[in-house]
Structure 1
Amino acid sequence: MKKTLLTVAFLMFTIFSLFAQTSASKTEKIKTFLEISGSSKMGMQAINQIITAFKTQQPNMSNHFWDDFLKEVNADDLTNLVIPIYDKYYTEKDLDGLIAFYQTDLGKRVLEKTPLIMQESMQVGQVWGKAMGEKVIKKIQENKAKN
């Protein structure tokens, strides 16, 4: 009986150890992917943009105040919050492929050009959205005029 319990305990320990190693391995791959893809830097860029907006709204606050606040911000906090999201949607094999891709010349080019593409796409989208909004208003006015 003791032998059986020891065997079961050993098997459970082994299974949990393998799971923990896989989990730690996958977590490290997610961190690597976030670093290579530049995603980990985006959090700090967003914080800096938010602080810039707050500085405009709160001009009476000293730069020292904002500098002290930024010292309290830890980019790893956001990384740790998004790790479970990446874990949910990507397998370790997916992460291996993404990391390998972003280390290629094409992957580096994608990373370099994506912010520019996003910026220009947002500008075009704003113009299109404004035109669609104006079109809706015109149609509403035409509809009201008929009724």
Structure 2
Amino acid sequence: MKRFSITLFLCGLLTSGFSQSISKTENIKNLLVLTGSGKLSVQVGESMIISFKKNYPNVPAEFWDNFLKEMNSDALINLIIPIYDKYYTESEIKQLTEFYQTSLGKKLISIMPLVLKESMQAGQTWGKDIGEKVYNNLKEKGFVKKE
């Protein structure tokens, strides 16, 4: 009888932990959908494709269209859920969800694609400038043969 009670207790603990995990997973998924994380990432991917198109103008549009079809926000969300699960408690996920339902949270969601796009452009410019400075400095110091 004692073994049976212990087994029931352990099963209860496992079931309780599993249901909390499902609940947290669903809360994370809801948060990611609410914030548009999947859609935002797809937009970033689309921006990357636009950059590739500029660099490879001879590639047919069909090639790029096929890549765009493969960008699935649900697949990305499923990859992101374990990351949020690792760094946030269920309580924090709920608090974030509440924040993103406020007017400031909604504003943050609506302008984030623009902020990220402009930030990426600024980062590209910054990276290009640093790359040029490093190359020029290497050339001046004789590490790269002058052309």
Class of the TM-score when normalised by the shorter of the 2 chains:
0.7 to 0.9
Contact 2:40 2:113 in 1 (8 A): no
The corresponding residue for 1:143 is 141
The corresponding residue for 2:6 is 8
Distance 1:76 1:6 in 2: 42
Give unpaired runs (5+ residues) of structure 1. none
Number of aligned positions between the proteins: 136
The corresponding residue for 2:17 is 19
Aligned Cα root-mean-square deviation (Å): 3.0
Give unpaired runs (5+ residues) of structure 2. none
1:80-134 Cα deviation digits (max 9, x unpaired): 2322222111110110111011111111111112211111122222222222222
Choose 127-136 or 18-27, whichever is displaced more: 127-136
Q: TM-score normalised to the size of structure 1? A: 0.74
Per-residue deviation, 1:6: 1.5
1:48-85 Cα deviation digits (max 9, x unpaired): 6688869x734577x8xx5xx94x87643332232222
Contact 2:29 2:77 in 1 (8 A): yes
The corresponding residue for 2:119 is 121
Contact 2:34 2:100 in 1 (8 A): yes
**Change in CA separation of 1:124 and 1:29 when aligned onto 2, cut-off 3 Å:** same
Choose 118-127 or 73-82, whichever is displaced more: 73-82
Choose 4-13 or 74-83, whichever is displaced more: 74-83
* Alignment partner of 1:104 out of 99, 102, 105: 102
Contact 2:41 2:73 in 1 (8 A): yes
Q: TM-score normalised to the size of structure 2? A: 0.74
* Alignment partner of 2:130 out of 129, 132, 144: 132
| 1:40 and 2:45 are equivalent in the alignment | no
Contact 2:24 2:85 in 1 (8 A): yes
The corresponding residue for 2:91 is 93
Percent identity (aligned): 39
Going by fraction, where is helix more abundant, 1 or 2?
1
Choose 101-110 or 80-89, whichever is displaced more: 80-89
User: SS in structure 2 opposite 1:144?
Assistant: coil
Contact 2:100 2:106 in 1 (8 A): yes
* Alignment partner of 1:28 out of 23, 26, 29: 26
